[in-house]
Structure 1
Amino acid sequence: MIIKLLARPLLAAPFIAEGIDAVRNPKKHAERFATLEKPLTQLGLPPALSSDTEMLARVLGGVSAVAGLCLATGRKPRTAALTLAAINLPLVVTSNPLWQAKSAGQRKEFTANLLKGGALAGGLLYAANDRAGKPSLGWRWDNYLEHRADLKDTKQKLKARYRDDD
């Protein structure tokens, strides 16, 4: 319990800080989205949404800050962590285009940033999987079916037993 109280805010802190910075200073964050404009339109996002990169940076910054705050405070932490992972992964990959590195130093920097971003994404996915001791929906469904089958079997045995007694 105490580990969660420390780990969630520590994991959320960079997303809160980056999100607030993106809302306040969208120009430097908008440069990241310039590389995403073509893939976003290919995925079906209307050009009106992807063309205003400063607004997109502000919106994603706001979402990132709010999701980070939710994760840090424990309000819907699984949803918040999954939201942050979904935002983080594409940004990390596009912000560190390893395939476009022009020098060994730049390649090393991109690789380090990709690994850091991947580590954060891994932590977020781990946090999204934390059910706080509750069983998963899959387990609960299987358990329900198993008990239902057991009850049906017991009911049939009881009916057969009372029919035989008559």
Structure 2
Amino acid sequence: MSLVSPFARPALAAPFVVDGVDAVLHPDKHAEKLQRLEPSLRKAGVPAALYANPKLITRVSGAVSAVAGLMLATGRSPRAAALTLAAINVPLTVVHNPVWAASNGQQRREYLSGLLRGVGLGGGLLFAATYRGGKPSWAWRLGNAREQRSELREAKASLKERYKD
């Protein structure tokens, strides 16, 4: 483990934990943002089940976000937690920053800034999801072990052949 990981993981997870707990405890303001996007979601062909009950959806996504954030922060299955947060981050970023619905230039800049911030967080989460702590992948380890066994068999056969006489 690097010296940065114990600080970087909690820092990356903190916004998701705070926002997730807030969504569970106070779903009204979060659900309101989703309700404002309902016409756009309907027009885009998103299934109605994904926005029919905004408070429930808000609470569920908030709980998942908080739990995955805590898992990432504490190092419990950090790759799976980061991947879960990355998947949740996409719709949350879009819901919180509807650039297309901006009424003026200032609001558009704020939404665009929030959208780019969400993209940056998503990139950090994807990096955390693929970070192995300096260890090679399982596929590489398996291939390397097979190669070493093969080389050992060849060396053993060579020695047997050499000392056969």
Compute the TM-score of the two structures, normalised by the length of structure 2. 0.81
1:99 maps to which residue? Answer: 100
Percent sequence identity is 52
CA RMSD of aligned residues (A): 2.4
Query: Which deviates more from structure 2 when the two are superposed, residues 5-14 or residues 54-63?
Result: 5-14
Q: Distance in 2 between matches of 1:49 and 1:103?
A: 29
Superposed displacement of residue 102, structure 1: 3.2
2:122 maps to which residue? Answer: 121
2:34 maps to which residue? Answer: 33
Asked if 2 retains the 8 angstrom alpha-carbon contact of 1:32 and 1:91, the reply is no
2:22 maps to which residue? Answer: 21
1:70 maps to which residue? Answer: 71
1:54 maps to which residue? Answer: 55
1:141 maps to which residue? Answer: 142
Compute the TM-score of the two structures, normalised by the length of structure 1. 0.81
2:12 maps to which residue? Answer: 11
**Paired residues, what number?**
159
Unaligned segments of structure 2, at least 5 residues: none
Q: Distance in 1 between matches of 2:139 and 2:33?
A: 38
Superposed displacement of residue 146, structure 1: 2.3
Unaligned segments of structure 1, at least 5 residues: 42-46
Q: Distance in 2 between matches of 1:6 and 1:123?
A: 14
